[in-house]
Each structure stands twice: as structure tokens, then as C-alpha cells.
Amino acid sequence: MKANNVKKPTLKIVAAKLGVSTATVSNAFNRPDQLSTTLRDKILKQCIELGYTGPSLTARSLRTGKTGVIGVLLADNLSFNFTDPVATEFLAGISQTLDAQHVNMLLLPSNAENYQSTQVETIPDCFIVYGKPVEPSIIERIQRQGKPLITVDFTLENTPSVGINNKKAAYDIACLTLKEPGYKALILGLRLESSLSLSLANFDNLYTSEESISRCRFEGYKQALAENGHELTTKDVWQIHHLESDSLKTILRGALTAPDHVDVLLCMSDKIALAALEVAHELNINIPNELKIVGFDGIPEAESKGLTTIAQPLSEKGRVAAQMALNLIPYETVELPFQLMNRHSS
């Protein structure tokens, strides 16, 4: 069989055959709001008959310096973010905004090895980075592009960010659970330092508040504990590196069956807190009389399980970041509100 070497028509040729301007044909594909539905449908139908699939992204990029693509870099690997309810809510918010503006999204990998044989970071017009990547070389690659960059849940110098006041939120929810004197509290943190250990040797190597929302939440818990007469030691803090359910439950069984009795679990995510609720039920620990558990994020399951948590506007974070990337709102830092949801677990 001979290869099909028929040359596809150009935008200029198609416009001439249809008797319209090149801008009209381009709008039919890229800016449908500029045309009536009838005219757009007619143009698209005729383009199909002519074998024309739309303006070339490469050609447009060379001509305008724009690709119409927003790059989204997720701090965790892509497979995790498609199953994590926090990340999916955030991505849904971005998608809703980009869909409304007919702009495409490119998900970028968080592993530096993925960039060794590609220059995928050169494609987007703007970048949204959700959580600071563990490998600093990835941020450096993006910054070298000299394009607008918006951070979410961490900060970079001279870069607008989107998030909530994590320290204040953690402080508020910790204070809610520490009203009784003598309570023993255990902080279950998310990646507080670069080491992969469960326990902390000291507090000297923690990520900074600019690098990590976990550090911000830690400072909020620490302040609440101090104000309620609790001296925080490294034995009172465990760091979780992965949110896989079975691993979480193994860690939590160890925490709840240890010789040192725990009265309060301050969990830096709802996934940790919900796993703790399950383990507590397995161990016949009464919630909240024998153990108080609080989470952070406000995912849908938290409400159905009666979990006390901080509800942060996950979708709104994505929408605001996308609006900023598209120049629909000012290019400046935005702090969104949070809500303390006091339920049965506390």
C-alpha cells in the first residue's frame, strides 16, 4: 500500500476556499465565542471535508511566541495525584477555568530524570507549581524559561503564591482539642524534613515555612501546645512520607498501641486522620472520649465520617491560580479563607 502523501491544506488556502478571513477560521477552532454557533459549525464541517484539522500550534508559537498551554507541575508523582482527593479537587479548579477560556493544560513530571531527554518545560506560556518539588533542579529549569510562574502552597522570592494561612489554621484546630490539662498530643506531619525517617532526631533540619506548608502547620500546632502548657519534644512528632492506606494503618497501630498513651492526634491531612479513625475503631478506642482526632484539608469523606478538620478551598485554589496564569486577575499573592469544621472526632 502506498503511503498517503497528500499535503494538508494551510489556513490561508482553507480561508480562501471558504470565502472568509484566516482570522475567522482560526476563531472557529481557538475562540468559538467570537462566532455565532451556526457560522462556527458551518466552518468546522467544511474544514473536515477539506481535511483541515486546525491552525498549527507550532506555527502559531513561532509567530506569536505563545502556545496557548499552561504548565502544571505537581510535587508528587502523576499517578498519586490522580488518586489523591486533595490534588484532584485542585486540578478540577484549574480545569474549569482553562476549559472556559479554551486553554490547554500540560501536566509536568516531578522527577528530574523525566527531563533528561526532553525539553517539555519550554512548551507552556505560564507555570502553576503545586507544592515545592523535592528536587530543586526542576524549579530551576522552569525559572530559566523566564515565563510567569505561580506557586501554590509554598513561596518563592518575587513570585505570587496562592494558599491559606496554614499556621493559623493549624493553631485554631489544635487549640480546639487541647482544652483539657495534661493531654498527650502526637503530631502526624507530612515530610517535615528531607530524611525518610519516621521519627525526628531533632528540630534543626526541618524545611522552612517558605518551602513547606507542613512546617507552617507544625508551627501552628507548636504554638497551640505551648500556650496550653505542653512542651513539644521530638517524641511528639512523627513524619509521614507516603499516604498509602496499608502503610498508614501500620504506622498508626504502632502509635495507638505504644506504651505512651496518646489523647490527641493532630494530623496534617484528612487521609492520615481518616486512617487513624479506622485503626481506633479496630482497637476499640472510643472517639472522642478516649482519643480526639483532627485532620486537615476538608475532603468529602471527612464530612461523612464526622472528622473534625480544616476545610480549605481546594478547587478555588486551582481556579485562582489558573485565572492568574491567564491574566484574568492581578499577578499577585492571594490568601484564601479556611473554615474549621468541628465534628464528632474531637
pLDDT single digits (tens) 306-325: 999 999 999 999 999 999 99
Rounded to two decimals, what is the model's pTM? 0.80
- C-alpha to C-alpha distances, 156 to 143, 193, 212, nearest whole angstrom: 11, 18, 11
The string of pLDDT tens digits covering residues 234-283 is: 999 999 887 788 888 999 999 999 888 899 999 999 999 999 999 999 99
* Cα angle: 234, vertex 235, 239; to 5 degrees: 75
Q: Where are the domains of the chain?
A: 11-55, 69-163, 166-311
Architecture of the domain defined by 166-311: 3-Layer(aba) Sandwich (3.40)
Residues 70, 41: Cα–Cα separation, whole Å: 27
Superfamily of domain 11-55: lambda repressor-like DNA-binding domains (1.10.260.40)
The pLDDT value given to residue 3? 43
pLDDT band at 117 (very low <50, low <70, confident <90, very high): low
At residue 65 the predicted structure's pLDDT band, cuts being 50, 70 and 90, is: low
Task: Find the helix or strand (DSSP H, E) in which 240 lies.
Answer: strand 237-240
Same fold, 69-163 and 166-311: yes
Least trusted range by pLDDT, from 97-101, 130-134, 212-216, 302-306: 130-134
The gap between the terminal CA atoms of the chain, to the nearest Å, is 72
**What fold does the segment set 69-163 form as a domain?**
Rossmann fold (3.40.50)
Pairing mode of beta strands 149-152, 126-130: parallel
Dihedral sign of CA atoms 77, 81, 86, 87 in order: positive
Output Rg (C-alpha) for the chain, integer angstroms.
Answer: 25
- Residue 185's SS3 state is strand
* 33 vs 139, residue with greater confidence: 139
Residues 163 and 130: beta-carbon distance below 8 Å: no
Residues paired with 237 in a beta bridge: 187
74-83, 229-238, 307-316: range with highest mean pLDDT: 307-316
Please answer whether residues 72 and 319 qualify as being in contact, where contact means their C-beta atoms are separated by less than 8 angstroms: no
